[in-house]
């Protein structure tokens, strides 16, 4: 990494200066000087394919809030967030948030669950989003809403915030150690996996009944679907060959086509990964985390525990298997693909580029713009290789005031089909729609990647934008978060 201090993008108001900075880092990030307003805006072009019409090129990324009830129903906070999703003007709502297919598969005791008992709440969420969308856009024509279905695998914490209950597919030499798992920690059996598959099938059927347009079979961020893809060392029919490692997806897809034929299918994929990172101990002092460095991996070559990584140099990307996976999606007639990377647990800099680390992270391992450019350029490469697939690009929030300029250029130049917004939606959901309408950016509402929305849940609190969103800023939780951070 460069030893130059990281330039705070919040201080770069001028687009020319932003472009100079991108060049000075040796990066390729497309950027338009003028954001086009009106119907000719690249952000506002509809996309029609395979019987699905999506009204514009703005997508809301899935973002859970750790704020459901103990039995997995949405709470008032969940409704607030889904209103934001609707208000954003985005015509593609990718998942809303991760919804567990069963209680044991929850990432936290407040994650939403899909089941008979939560049907009413999930339907109300969808309706609330649509109503809010209509207020902003006048109509819900071209609005496409999916639900992200998940099992949290290695990162299950269904019962208590401070009690991990991992369900693992194989022993991982680095992640097992980080999670404190002994070498005889039990693996999920093939029989238990069959039970999880059943839960996905039932969940998809419910999603269809509730009127969701598609479900995302989540394959990212270290959760179960993603762990299957790297299960090289697992024995039996769910491990080893790529064919076995994708059996999970194929079986769910076949079942959905039979029992929920109206439902489209999407996949959110960590297209590449790297080894786990940790704060550099030599540079961590007085409670301040050091910059991220990779965990020691030299004794683990060839590296057999990753997906989209080079087995000889696992901190480098290798997209060959990712491309085989995308070919499989084409064969399965799955055309909606949301590209992301790595995991928020073991390499957050790759996944959600930020200037300020979450409480369990590390200072930036590199200039966060490098992390943004990496995700964008991988999306560009995959889009060029798979022009028929519909791609959502990720990792744009760190661009801050320049997000609209970059989003427009990325769409115009065909780097991606949709620009997905994650954290920005928590603080300034209308950013892209407003700029495509010719409105001036409200700088005070721009996400500055303070990471409180990630830190809060790590402390057992609802996720939200504590620094900038009035809803959380003045809530009881803001005090609790302050106290938890001070204690740490
Ligand atoms: C608070 C929070 C919750 C998230 N929850 C999910 C989730 O439920 N499912 C998912 O696939 N990604 C989740 N993500 C990742 C985002 O969808 C997105 O990939 C990431 O924030 C990077 O995009 P951004 O730069 O626009 O924020 C979450 C991110 C944040 C900050
Ligand atoms: S807390 Fe708010 S400003 Fe900070 S990263 Fe999250 S959304 Fe952005």
pLDDT at 36: 97
Write the pLDDT tens digit of every residue in 164-185.
999 999 999 999 999 999 999 9
Q: Phi first, then psi: what are they for 266, rounded to 5°? A: -130, 165
Residue 2 has pLDDT above 60, yes or no: no
Residue range 248-255: mean pLDDT, rounded: 98
Q: Mean of the pLDDT values across residues 10-32?
A: 96
State the CB neighbour count (10 A cutoff) for residue 76: 7
Q: What is the pLDDT of residue 13?
A: 86
| More confidently predicted of 481 and 1 | 481
- pLDDT average, residue stretch 183-200: 98
| β-strand partners of 146 | 214
Tokens standing for residue 194: 């069959």
Supply the mean pLDDT for the chain: 96
Centre of ligand 1 to C-alpha 132, Å, is 21
Which residue blocks in 92-118 are alpha helix, DSSP H? none
Whether the predicted pLDDT of 487 surpasses 80: no
Q: Are 168 and 151 in contact (CB under 8 A)?
A: no
Mean pLDDT of 30-34: 97
pLDDT in tens, 75-122: 999 999 999 999 999 999 999 999 999 999 999 999 999 999 999 999
Which residue from 9, 62, 267 has its CB within 8 A of the most atoms of ligand 1, so it is best to mutate? 62
Distance 222 CA to ligand 2 centre (A): 22
Distance, in Å, from the CA atom of 378 to the CA atom of 393, rounded to the nearest integer, reads 9
Ligand 1 mean position to 134 CA, how many Å? 24
CA 138, 144, 145, 148 dihedral sign is negative
When pLDDT is cut at 50, 70 and 90, the band that residue 485 belongs to is confident
- Tell whether the model's pLDDT for residue 244 goes beyond 50: yes
Q: Which ligand is nearest to the CA of 90?
A: 1
Identify the pLDDT of residue 1. Answer: 47
pLDDT at res. 3: 54
DSSP state of 300: G
Q: Which atom of ligand 2 is nearest to the CA of 397?
A: 8
| In the predicted structure, residue 255 carries a pLDDT above the cut 50 | yes
Question: What is the rounded distance in angstroms from the CA atom of residue 243 to the CA atom of residue 237?
Answer: 9
Could you tell which of 427, 445, 454, 457 is best to mutate to test the pocket of ligand 2, judged by most ligand atoms within 8 Å of the CB? 427
Is 80 exceeded by the pLDDT of residue 401? yes
354 Cα nearest atom in ligand 2: 5
Instruction: Calculate what percentage of the chain has a pLDDT beyond 70.
Output: 99
Question: Given a cut of 80, is residue 484 above it in pLDDT?
Answer: yes
- Whether residue 325 is predicted with pLDDT greater than 60 in this model: the reply is yes
CB neighbour list of residue 28: distance below 8 Å, 6 or more residues apart? 22, 373, 377
Ligand 2: residue whose CA is nearest its atom 4: 450
Dist. CA 376–CA 28, nearest whole Å: 9
Q: How confident is the model at residue 4 (pLDDT cuts 50, 70, 90)?
A: low
**CA–CA separation, 96 and 114 (whole Å):** 13
Q: What is the pLDDT of residue 136?
A: 93
What percent of the chain clears pLDDT 90, i.e. is strictly above it?
A: 92
Closest residue by CA, ligand 1 atom 30:
63
First-residue to last-residue Cα distance in the chain: 28
- Specify the pLDDT at position 73: 98
Q: Please write the tens of the pLDDT for every residue from 269-290.
A: 999 999 999 999 999 888 788 9
Q: Are 244 and 181 in contact (CB under 8 A)?
A: no
- Helix 368-385 / helix 320-331 crossing angle, nearest 10 deg: 50
Closest residue CA from atom 2 of ligand 2: 465
Q: In testing the pocket of ligand 2, which one of 349, 354, 358, 453 has its CB within 8 Å of the most ligand atoms?
A: 453
**Pocket around ligand 1 at a 6 A CB cut-off:** 61-64, 97-98, 148, 220-221, 268, 340, 352, 394-398, 421-424, 453-454, 463
């Amino acid at each position: 990494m460069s030893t130059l201090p990281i330039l705070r993008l919040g201080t770069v108001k001028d687009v020319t200066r932003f472009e100079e900075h991108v060049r000075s880092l040796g990066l390729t990030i497309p950027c338009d000087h003028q954001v086009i307003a009106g119907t000719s805006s690249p952000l506002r072009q509809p996309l029609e394919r395979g019987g699905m019409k999506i009204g514009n090129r703005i997508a809301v990324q899935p973002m859970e809030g750790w704020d459901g009830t103990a039995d997995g129903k949405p709470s008032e906070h969940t409704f607030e967030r889904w209103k934001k999703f609707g208000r954003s003007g985005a015509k593609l709502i990718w998942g809303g948030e991760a919804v567990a297919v069963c209680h044991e598969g929850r990432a936290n005791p407040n994650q939403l669950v899909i089941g008979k008992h939560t049907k009413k709440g999930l339907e109300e969420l969808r309706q609330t989003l649509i109503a809010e969308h209509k207020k902003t856009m006048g109509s819900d024509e071209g609005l496409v809403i999916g639900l992200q279905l998940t099992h949290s695998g290695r990162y299950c914490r269904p019962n208590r915030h401070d009690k991990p209950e991992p369900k693992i597919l194989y022993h991982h030499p680095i992640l097992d150690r980080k999670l404190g798992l002994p070498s005889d920690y039990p693996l999920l059996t093939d029989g238990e996996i069959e039970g999880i598959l059943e839960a996905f099938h039932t969940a998809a059927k419910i999603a269809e009944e509730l009127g969701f347009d598609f479900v995302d079979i989540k394959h990212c961020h270290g959760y179960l679907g993603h762990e299957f893809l790297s299960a090289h060392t697992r024995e039996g029919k769910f491990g080893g060959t790529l064919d076995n490692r994708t059996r999970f997806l194929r079986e769910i897809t076949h079942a959905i086509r039979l029992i929920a034929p109206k439902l489209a299918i999407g996949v959110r994929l960590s297209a590449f990964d790297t080894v786990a990172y940790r704060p550099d101990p030599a540079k961590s002092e007085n409670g301040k985390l050091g910059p991220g460095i990779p965990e020691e991996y030299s004794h683990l070559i060839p590296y057999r525990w990753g997906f989209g990584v080079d087995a000889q140099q696992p901190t480098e990307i290798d997209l060959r298997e990712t491309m085989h996976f995308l070919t499989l999606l084409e064969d399965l007639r799955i055309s909606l693909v949301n590209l992301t990377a790595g995991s928020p647990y073991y390499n957050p800099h790759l996944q959600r580029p930020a200037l300020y680390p979450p409480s369990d992270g590390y200072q930036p391992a590199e200039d966060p713009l490098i992390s943004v450019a990496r995700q964008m350029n991988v999306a560009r490469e995959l889009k060029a290789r798979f022009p028929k697939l519909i791609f959502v690009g990720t990792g744009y929030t760190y661009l801050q005031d320049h997000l609209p300029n970059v989003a427009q250029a990325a769409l115009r130049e065909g780097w991606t089909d949709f620009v997905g917004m994650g954290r920005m939606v928590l603080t300034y959901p209308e950013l892209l729609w407003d700029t495509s309408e010719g409105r001036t950016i409200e700088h005070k509402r721009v996400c500055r990647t303070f990471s409180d929305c990630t830190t809060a849940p790590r402390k057992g609190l609802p996720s939200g934008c504590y620094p900038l969103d009035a809803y959380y800023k003045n809530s009881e939780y803001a005090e609790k978060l302050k106290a938890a951070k001070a204690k740490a």
